[in-house]
Amino acid sequence: MLPVTIEEEMRSSYLAYAMSVIVSRALPDVRDGLKPVHRRILYSMRESGFTHDKPYRKSARAVGDVMGKYHPHGDSSIYDAMVRMAQSWSMRVKLIDGQGNFGSVDGDSPAAMRYTEARLARAASFLLDDIDRDTVDFQPNYDESEQEPQILPAAFPNLLINGASGIAVGMATNIPPHNPGEIIDATLAMIERPDMTLDDLLQYVPGPDFPTGGTILGRAGIRSAFETGRGSVIIRARAEIEELRRDRKAIIITEIPYQVNKATLQERIADLVRSKQVEGIADIRDESDRSGMRIVIEIKRDATPEVVLNQLYRFTQLQTSFGVNMLALDGGQPRLMGLKEVLEAFIRFREEVILRRARFDLNKARDRGHLLVGLVIAVANIDAVIALIRAAPDAATARAALMERAWDAGDISPLLALIHDEGNVVVDGRVHLTEAQARGILELRLQRLTGLERDKIQQELSEVATRINELLEIIASRPRRLEVMRNELATVRAEIATPRATDIADYAGDQTDESLIEPGQMVVTITREGFIKRTPLDIFRAQNRGGRGRTAAGRRGDDIIIRSFNAHTHQWVLFFSSGGKAYREKVWRLPEASPTAKGRALVNLLPDLGEDSITAVLPLPQDEDLWENLHLVFATASGNVRRNRLSDFRNIRSSGLIAMKLDEGDRLIGVATCREGQDVFLGTRNARCIRFQITDETLRVFAGRGSSGVRGIRLAEGDEVNSLCVLGHVDATVEERAAYLRIANARRRAENAAQNGDEAETVPENATMDEEETSTDLALPPERVAELEAAEEILLIVSNAGFGRRSSAYDYRVSGRGGQGINNMSFPTARRGNAVVATLPVLAGTDVMLVTDAGRLIRLPVDQIRIMSRQASGVTLFRLNDTEEVTSVFPVMDDGSDEDDAADANEVSGDGEDGAAPPAGADTDADD
């Protein structure tokens, strides 16, 4: 007994176990690309005669032979390995031809081995051919009752073509499959040019080729794997977007990534839909059949298929990463190899196989040639041979007599040299036969003595001599061996080459959902009942003022549009609720719908909204770099205002963020972006307004979001603020602004006079004039007029009766915060309407939209609206029905409408009514 420390014993025993697992179980050999279990299955089936040209045999019989002779493990592990070699979605080139249920890509288990049948596939024969010609070494099986090959004489690089995966002790391998034609082409190129670089090989093998198809994204991972043996390859399913029927599209998946379970994939998609992590999916069904795979994912009408598909790539196995780890046994040792190293190892092995086969065939040819020499000698001396045999009492005596006698060699001497026969030595033209030759002569049949048969013996001897010469050339010349290898590879390629199944696409990184959305302008509308939608702006065609408009939205009952705005698809939008919370969403995430659709409920878009309603919406600048220098100004219906940094609202969780503390009964009416030094303009429903500058003294920046703000305007009883806008501040005295307005108004009156029958400016007799409206004799120099004109802003004021006007912002003096303000519009008794709907700045050359409580909408150029004084009641902008009122007004950008729309500017669309709008500058309802 020898004492051994437990540490040493554990170390040595564990290392022995680890090496046993590595070499004898988990890792494939670089030469034939097989693990021991696969090698034993293929060899056993060949030995049992289950080849591709024989009938199918029960799988249980093949498994029993493997288990009883070569692989002393459980039958289930052998059958599982056998099943995988018969699955077309697991192997790039199948090695087993199975009949019956061998599982499915859905993860279904194969039928029991007693029900299925199998035989070797045609490709397996190329791995086993010449195994009985001393091409590889054999070893005893587990009980030394049989011999099994240590390796198979593979005729093609099976390791790369079919790949391999396995987990050993402390190491693992994961080699992807490749296209057989490409790999063989690369091998042929390597034989011609052993100094090929990786870039040269990539011309033949662009990347892995998975049996399930799909698309490989990017080439960096492929290059890393081919160069170092390690890399990550991104595989994406093959999907297309089809239109099933009108307004309904579907994502059709025809190929999935390698080693992905189709049934599990569909369950994962269903789970994402139930948890609302992926929205926009209406239905999912599997329409796969014998013709191929087809998974149909039906998309909701208001969802974007490209976005849904991108989310599925992100959250499901429709896009996976294949971690390449090209670890294999080379010379019995685990080695991490790249593409070139694997091909070099295969070429070395295959050359050795050809060399050993040539030596084996040479020995066989020499043995045959030796016998043929004896037959030729016997035929040449046939009478003497027959006499000797007849005189011998038995076969042994006859054999001895044949060997003792020296026979006439005749012309056999050149043949002996040709076949390199060392058994027969010619002396003085005579030769002695060997024992093998004597036995052959005694076994010679009489029919071989005919003239024809004698010629055949001579011909065969010549052919053997030629064959021996070829084999000697193969053994002596490496170029000749490589030529044989090329010819055999070309033969294999013709049998197993197939078109590439996996595409390779350039890939810069993960695509964001937003990158899939086509940029464009959208009209976003929100109804009183909380429905929201977005509609492409170019659907709405510009009309002249006074037209009938078109239907803007379908309504439920008495639901009306309360808010509309124009925004870019990639803009952020802040939503402010009646409870003082802020939510953030991209415009493209809002549901897209037609002009007549009702849209989608906001409570579904913002699940944490609860019973609150959205009272203010703010589209943010598309360039987020501008956010650092911007502030937000809040205004409530009660007249309170507050200023915060926009950065306070950069990170808003899905459940919302407290934006402003509101007093009981108060609500937000508007939020706008602003900068230090600009002016805040507040307009009320009862036509009062106030303008004050944004400074730290008048309106400081609040540090938190929990404040209710400070008073912006003092309201009369029953009045409320309904308009908030931010204007540029111009340093001009009261006299300068009054003088400029006098000059500008005179010019505008002259321009209006040139128009036919335009509406006159209406000012009630009881309208009060502010101190700034008194006349002044101040004369402004031309350069100051030009300076004020460049900085002038124009406001649009619209009443609920569809009347409106434009006025210069200079008409509104800058005062202190918290005052009662000044008059914004007058309401003549002759006209319907007694409330201001909106006051907003507009630019020349742009359009505005007016929306009514009946769901009608009109878009008209602001240039058709006259610029009047602050006291004027305006002109007719929208011809309304008796009970209809304007509820929303907002500006729009360039509509991109066709130029010939001008010819159809008076066309009525969307509401089913006909009517013609009067020409620009004329209105029959005007007060002259």
Rounded Cα distance, 771 and 786, in Å: 25
3-class DSSP assignment, residue 227: helix
How far is CA 881 from each of CA 798, 832, 878, rounded to the nearest angstrom?
17, 11, 10
Listed by start position, the domains of the chain span 35-153, 238-317, 362-476, 517-904
Q: What is the CATH number of domain 517-904?
A: 2.120.10.90
Count CB atoms within 10 A of the CB of residue 611. 8
Rounded Cα distance, 439 and 189, in Å: 50
Closest by alpha carbon to 653, among 590, 593, 607?
607
How high is the pLDDT of residue 160?
A: 96
Does CATH number 1.10.10.10 belong to domain 362-476?
no
Q: Which string of DSSP letters, residue by residue, matches 491-530?
A: HHHHHH-----SEEE---SPPPTGGGSPP-EEEEEEETTS
Mark 882-896 as b/e (b = at least 16 C-beta within 10 Å): eebbbbbbbbbeebe
How high is the pLDDT of residue 548?
A: 56
| DSSP E strands, 161-278 | 164-167, 172-175, 215-217, 230-236, 238-245, 248-255
Rounded Cα distance, 631 and 883, in Å: 40
User: Active site includes 142?
Assistant: no
How high is the pLDDT of residue 915?
A: 31
Task: Check: pTM over 0.85? Answer yes or no.
Answer: no
Classify domain 238-317 at the CATH class level.
Answer: alpha beta
Burial of 724 (0-12, 13-18, 19+ CB in 10 A): buried
Three-state secondary structure along 707-743? CCCEECCCCCCCCCEEEEEEECCCCCCHHHHHHHHHH
3-class DSSP assignment, residue 167: strand
How far is CA 464 from each of CA 357, 377, 709, 927, rounded to the nearest angstrom?
16, 16, 109, 122
Residues of the chain short of pLDDT 50, as ranges, are: 756, 758, 760, 765-775, 894-928
Cβ contact 656:668 at 8 Å:
no
Count CB atoms within 10 A of the CB of residue 132. 12
Active-site entry in 14, 17, 70, 115: 115
User: pLDDT, tens digit, for every residue of 610-625?
Assistant: 777 777 777 887 777 7
How far is CA 762 from each of CA 742, 799, 875, 886, rounded to the nearest angstrom?
18, 14, 9, 20
How far is CA 90 from each of CA 83, 165, 667, rounded to the nearest angstrom?
10, 11, 63
Sheet with 856-861: list strands edge to edge.
550-551, 856-861, 847-852, 886-892
Rounded Cα distance, 805 and 875, in Å: 6
Instruction: Take residue 77 and report the two structure tokens written for it.
Output: 């592990």
Instruction: Take residue 403 and report the two structure tokens written for it.
Output: 């060997």
Q: What is the CATH number of domain 35-153?
A: 3.90.199.10
List beta partners, residue 250: 242, 298
3-class DSSP assignment, residue 836: strand
Closest by alpha carbon to 547, among 927, 928, 902?
902
What are the backbone angles phi and psi of residue 374, rounded to the nearest 5°? -65, -40
